[in-house]
Amino acid sequence: MNAVFTVPGSSLSLPEEKMLSMDFPITWLSKWQGLVGRFITLKINNRCPLRCRHCSLFESGEPPEHEFLLSEAQLRSQIEAIDPAVYAVVVFVGGEPSLSVNSLRLGIDLCCERKLKSAIVSAPVWASSLSNANRFLDQVHGLNLLHLSFDLYHLEFLKASFYENALEAAAARGLPVAMLVCYANERELDDVNEKLRALRHRFIVSYSQVLPLGSGAQLLGQRQPGSTIETMADLLALPRSCRAGNTVMDKHGNVYGCCWAESVNSSPLAMSANGGGARTAIQELEASLIFQSVRKHGMINSRTEQQKQVMLEIAKGKYFVNECHLCLEAMAQGGSSVWR
């Protein structure tokens, strides 16, 4: 039987009791229990053979001017900066991290030494056949979680058989798989869900809606259905999507309280490594009352009534896809009055 387990709210770092309520088979649950906790994402490269329409990596339409690959020393110092008491899982991303398999090998081994779990986010370009999928997963043995990007945009480049091969090779190793699904509208969501249901192996699914920013803006064009925010009730009715707490570290060791905070010029959730390096940036983020309140309650719910009023003034007359979309506008427009 095909089994798709949906993770509501798009967050993979679910509290244990929420996972328990999701009717996971017990063997799966025990695998996932070790992964419950906060994730920190490290970008090991910015290379990718694909050109997915929703991806911001090649926004200009040109390959990045400066390809980068984290050096061994950078990777070591970034992983050593991560406190296992704060973070449970290190997620290696790119670009396409499977293009830098030596870095992945080193990163996974360093995580093991530091009692951290490891995961990657990958499009399975390495799974054109079952033997190729096995070869890649052999190279990254010790990995605790495989995220596969699965959406209509990746499927313009990769056949469903690549995912089948990746899932089969992962299943043979007892490696849990989470499908990461981006979608622009309900029609795309239905379409991608149908394709997910056709796959034969077990996985869970995490959904994210494309925001009309950067490549997403080009993708969505003028097609932005939905009504504008006019009242506080409209604002409070926005779909919640906050994942603050699952942190991102960039190649310089700067630390961001969520993946979106890196995309804006100024964010209260961004901590520079310039002062004392990545370790200090992580400590400063953890010590930030703004970050902790957003992490615990979500962006909208963590704001006071007065701060919500400021957000309403910023939002009035505009359409927002979800909480993150509004939050980014608040970071760009709101100044400190939304946050302090």
Quick note: the x/- pattern for ligand SF4 over 124-143, rule CB under 6 A, is --------------------
Instruction: Tell me the C-alpha to C-alpha distance, in Å, between residue 286 and each of 77, 192, 262.
Output: 19, 37, 17
Could you say which residues in the range 270-309 bind ligand SF4, by CB under 6 A? 294, 299
Q: Which is nearer to ligand SF4, 220 or 324 (CB)?
A: 324
* Beta carbon nearer to ligand SF4, 176 or 245: 245
Residues facing 5 on adjacent strands: 204
Contact pick of 164, 262, 323, 329 for ligand SF4 (by CB under 6 A)? 323
Task: Tell me how far, at minimum, the Cβ of 290 lies from ligand SF4, in Å.
Answer: 9
Q: Are 182 and 157 in contact (CB under 8 A)?
A: no
Count of positions on this chain that bind ligand SF4 (CB under 6 A): 14
Tokens of 33: 């229990």
Contact 339/314 with Cβ under 8 angstroms? no
Residues 224-263: x where in contact with ligand SF4 by CB under 6 A, - otherwise, as a string: -----------------xxxx-------------x-xx--
Q: Among residue numbers 183 through 222, which ones bind ligand SF4 (CB under 6 A)?
A: none
Instruction: Report, in this order, helix, strand and coil percent for the chain, each rounded to 5.
Output: 45, 15, 40
Name the residue nearer to ligand SF4 (CB basis): 178 or 328.
328
Place of tokens 């779990």: 117
Secondary structure of residue 152 in the 3-state scheme: coil
Among 121, 324, 334, 339, binds ligand SF4 (CB under 6 A): 324
Angle at which helices 72-80 and 277-287 cross, to 10°: 30
- Of residues 13 through 32, those in contact with ligand SF4 by CB under 6 A are none
Q: Does 327 bind ligand SF4 (CB under 6 A)?
A: yes
Q: Which residue carries 């939905």 as its tokens?
A: 226
Q: Does 329 bind ligand SF4 (CB under 6 A)?
A: no
The size of the chain, in residues, is 340
List 177, 285, 328, 338, residue binding ligand SF4 (CB under 6 A): 328
Q: State in angstroms the smallest separation of the CB of 121 from ligand SF4.
A: 16
Matching residue, tokens 């009791």? 17
Query: Which tokens sit at 8?
Result: 């509501």
Other residues' Cβ atoms within 10 Å of the Cβ of residue 331: 22
Bridge partner list, 249: 42, 255
**Interacting residues toward ligand SF4 by CB under 6 A:** 241-244, 258, 260-261, 269, 294, 299, 323-324, 327-328
